[in-house]
Chains A and B, each alone.
Chain A
């Protein structure tokens, strides 16, 4: 993801030329948000893509509303999170099994094996711990940013992260 200067430049471009600015914003954040949705909420590809589209839709329909957003990453992750939680609430918990089978792919190589192993281990964690690990490790968010996103205190986030890492260490037979 972008640092603060790059983010400022990107938002300035978005305000000047929404079409070009949006292309940059999408290129920077669509992937991380998509992976966050897939791994934190056990969503299928299609479901994650739908929510991703919902998340970005206001940015292309009414771009002027977002010209003054200072932290687009925080904004997009929060929007995606809210949409995912709403989706999970509406669909219920029974949908997870079918989605897991969707994640199985035919490409077998070492990295993919590791990815699948980590994904499976992540799925066994409580939702908040899983989300914290995904945000901390794979989107480079700070504990402060995660606390703001999850609307909880900093010690809570830190504690969730510690417990999650300890549990993953037990579940994943990792080697350097």
Chain B
């Protein structure tokens, strides 16, 4: 469609299109660099590189198979140690009673006197204060 719309001047330009071509050197330079014209990698350096890599691979394979056949003995692993808990003798109720016999035999006065130093002894001796009734009697006397 574009071509149909071309006027006389555009046709004139088309007829006078430049005819210049690139020199053959460009094509030759490209061919020289082309992958299909590159020699196979058979240089001395390439061969030595390939040999070195092959040796490394073979050595690794041998080492791997040797290890697989005779695996290293496993080191014994010491079992985890548990901290010993202190063992307490299991006391029977009778023994407990025997141990605390002195305390049971003490009367209320002795208990208060020897076991609680801060206790008011004079108050303990006063029978009238041991009950609420006694306390009420005291109030009546006032």
Contacts and interface: CB of A to CB of B under 8 A. Distances in A.
Interface string A123-165: 0000000000100111000110000000000000000000001
A48 interface: yes
Interface string A1-42: 000000000000000001100100010001100110011000
Q: Could you tell me the dominant secondary structure of chain A's interface residues?
A: helix
A137 B17 contact: yes
Given A137-B13, A169-B9, A176-B12, A57 B22 contact: no
A55 B23 CA distance: 15
Interface string B3-33: 0000011101110111111110111011101
A115 interface: yes
Contacts, number: 82
A113 to B, nearest CB: 9
B36 interface: yes
B8 A176 contact: yes
A22 B22 CA distance: 16
Interface stretch (A59-67, A71-79, A88-96): A59-67
A60 B9 contact: no
A114 B16 contact: yes
Contacts of B17: 35, 137-138
23 contacts: A19-B36, A30-B26, A35-B17, A38-B20, A45-B20, A45-B23, A49-B22, A49-B25, A53-B26, A57-B33, A60-B34, A61-B35, A63-B35, A114-B16, A115-B18, A115-B19, A118-B16, A119-B18, A137-B13, A138-B18, A168-B9, A168-B13, A174-B9
Interface of A: 18-19, 22, 26, 30-31, 34-35, 38-39, 45, 48-49, 52-53, 56-57, 60-63, 111, 114-115, 118-119, 133, 136-138, 142-143, 165, 168-169, 174, 176
